[in-house]
């Protein structure tokens, strides 16, 4: 009997040692002596635990990382829909009217604008390129908008424009990362991850952060723009599809009943909880939650992602294309998702990189086509949210990662076959609409040709600080401890843009 017990003990110890990695060893050694020292400072008093932690060792937040949380102060909105035009739309053909640039069309660009500047493709002295669209002032506020966006004119008084946004990144990947994670380098949590980490989700049967893509490709920065970085992975965006199954493998294989699936997940998570009790790795808790979420999503996701059951007038309003992955379908899905309590919905539409290397990438023909794809759906989204009483509790954000130059692109010093503009971070346009936003506002102004902001310049950090403010957070206090210091979305920069707040 003693030999059998010794073997059992030996096997248990052997399995525990095999489970140890160098990371566990270093972590335990590094924190062990510090814990002893800290314990002596507190004279063994310890910290009080909540009742549920005393009984189970897990807090409610541990077992359900997406549990609804209240923000530090009263929010203006509780949901966000971010419409990102991947590739950077030309503000000069959409929102930033420059009649002086039209007068200077086809003249050499002044050297003063080129000295000390870095461009992705422009070399030598390019020609100035006048606006390739007609503009007019519309709405009660009299804001300018081009004829490329006829439907948007109906809702223009709902939005607040930021006309002088700037970024220090001029290539797509780093600029997209900066816009959505606060850093041009990989490894930081995305805006949607920060929001779901801070607020949780109102619908426990759906992810708190959903991503929808259109245009045939994901952004240049890849899926890192909706990643969770150093936050637990449960807060990363869940990409859903508007064509085919909304989530891959959402259906169980033949022979797998719901009861069998539930008992299997329960058994797996019993083991996971034991592992967490041993190693206290937050990723184990994320895994527990993801198993449970996947089980609940099998019922909830197919229903909320089904746009076929929408009334005919709503389908007509958005201009949806049944069975196709399109921006129109995704805008309607975004409304359905926030209506069901999803905290953050991110739409990426690829195809806005208007260099003029082909007809499809020109700022006249190509850009007109892209504007036709988004004009009706994004306008319908604002109208639909408003008529349902959802716009006052939802923030809608529109923009790209940077803007386009007032000069025509001349790769290798040669003018392109079609009219195109290079990447430009000095000034571009974004807009916001919804709760807490001053309707019809226009903040910031660029110079006569749209090259640089001359008034009301705001940074990408300012934009993110404003979004967090509307959700009830002080962006300077909203932090996460990582690698020995507190990190925040806005790094060490950012100010709330009060000029566009109601």
- The number of residues in the chain equals 502
Residue with the larger pLDDT of the pair 139 and 48: 139
Q: What is the pLDDT of residue 30?
A: 52
C-alpha distances out from residue 481 to 202, 478, 485, Å: 25, 10, 6
pLDDT band, residue 57 (cuts 50/70/90): low
pLDDT in tens, 229-251: 999 888 999 998 656 555 654 56
SS3 labels along 16-40: HHHHCCHHHHHHHHHHHHHHHHHHH
In the predicted structure, residue 37 carries a pLDDT above the cut 50: no
Give CA–CA dist 197/208, Å, rounded. 9
Residue 170: closest CA among 428, 467, 343, 454: 428
pLDDT in tens, 482-500: 999 999 999 999 999 999 9
Q: How far apart are the first and last CA of the chain?
A: 78
Q: What is the pLDDT of residue 280?
A: 75
Question: At 294, is the secondary structure helix, strand, or coil?
Answer: helix
- DSSP secondary structure, 109-140, as one string: PPGGGTTT---SSB-S-PBB---SS-EEEETT
Q: Which of 175-189, 248-262, 355-369, 416-430 has the lowest mean pLDDT?
A: 248-262
Residue 481: closest CA among 231, 137, 289, 274: 231
pLDDT band, residue 42 (cuts 50/70/90): very low
Task: Please give the CATH architecture assigned to the domain spanning 79-246+305-500.
Answer: 3-Layer(aba) Sandwich (3.40)
Question: At 463, is the secondary structure helix, strand, or coil?
Answer: helix
The CATH 3.40.720 domain(s) of the chain lie at: 79-246+305-500
Report yes or no: 451 and 406 within 8 Å, Cβ to Cβ.
Answer: yes
In the predicted structure, residue 73 carries a pLDDT above the cut 90: yes
């Amino acid at each position: 009997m003693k030999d059998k017990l010794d073997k059992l003990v030996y096997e248990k110890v052997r399995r525990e040692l095999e489970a140890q990695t160098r990371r566990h060893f270093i972590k335990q050694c590094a924190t062990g002596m510090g814990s002893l020292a800290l314990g002596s400072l507190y004279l063994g008093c310890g910290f009080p635990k909540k009742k549920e932690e005393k009984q189970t060792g897990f807090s409610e937040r541990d077992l359900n990382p997406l549990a609804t949380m209240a923000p530090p102060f009263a929010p203006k909105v509780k949901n966000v829909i971010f419409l990102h035009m991947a590739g950077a739309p030309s503000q000069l053909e959409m929102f930033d009217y420059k009649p002086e640039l039209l007068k200077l069309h086809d003249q050499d660009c002044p050297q003063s604008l080129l000295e000390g500047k870095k461009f992705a493709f422009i070399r030598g002295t390019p020609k100035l390129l006048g606006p390739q669209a007609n503009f007019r002032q519309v709405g009660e506020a009299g804001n300018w908008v081009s004829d490329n966006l006829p439907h948007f004119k109906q809702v223009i008084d709902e939005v607040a424009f930021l006309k002088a946004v700037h970024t220090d990144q001029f290539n797509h990947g780093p600029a997209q990362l900066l816009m959505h994670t606060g850093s041009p380098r990989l490894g930081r949590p995305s805006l949607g991850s920060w929001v779901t980490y801070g607020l949780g989700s109102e619908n426990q049967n759906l992810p708190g952060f959903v991503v929808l893509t259109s245009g045939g490709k994901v952004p240049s920065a890849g899926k890192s723009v909706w990643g969770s970085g150093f936050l637990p992975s449960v807060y990363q965006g869940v990409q859903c599809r508007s064509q085919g199954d909304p989530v891959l493998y959402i259906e169980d294989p033949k022979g797998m009943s719901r009861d069998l699936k539930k008992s299997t997940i329960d058994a797996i998570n019993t083991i996971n909880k034991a592992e967490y009790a041993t190693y206290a790795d937050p990723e184990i808790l994320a895994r527990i939650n993801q198993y449970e979420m996947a089980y609940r999503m099998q019922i909830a996701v197919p229903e909320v992602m089904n746009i076929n059951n929408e009334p005919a007038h709503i389908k007509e309003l958005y201009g949806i294309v049944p069975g196709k992955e399109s921006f129109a379908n995704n805008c309607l899905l975004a409304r359905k998702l926030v209506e069901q309590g999803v905290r953050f919905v991110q739409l990426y539409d690829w195809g806005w990189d208007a260099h003029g290397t082909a007809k499809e990438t020109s700022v006249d023909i190509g850009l007109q086509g892209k504007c036709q794809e988004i004009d009706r759906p994004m306008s319908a989204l604002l109208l639909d949210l408003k008529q349902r009483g959802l716009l006052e509790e939802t923030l809608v954000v529109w923009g790209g990662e940077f803007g386009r130059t007032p000069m025509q692109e001349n790769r290798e010093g040669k003018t392109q076959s079609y009219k195109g503009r290079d990447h430009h971070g000095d000034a571009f346009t974004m807009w916001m609409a919804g709760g807490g936003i001053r309707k019809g506002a226009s903040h910031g102004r660029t110079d006569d040709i749209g090259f640089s902001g001359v008034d009301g310049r705001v940074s990408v950090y300012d934009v993110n600080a404003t979004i967090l403010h509307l959700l009830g957070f002080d962006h300077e206090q909203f932090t996460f401890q990582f690698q020995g210091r507190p990190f925040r979305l806005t790094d060490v920069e950012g100010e709330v843009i009060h000029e566009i707040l109601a």
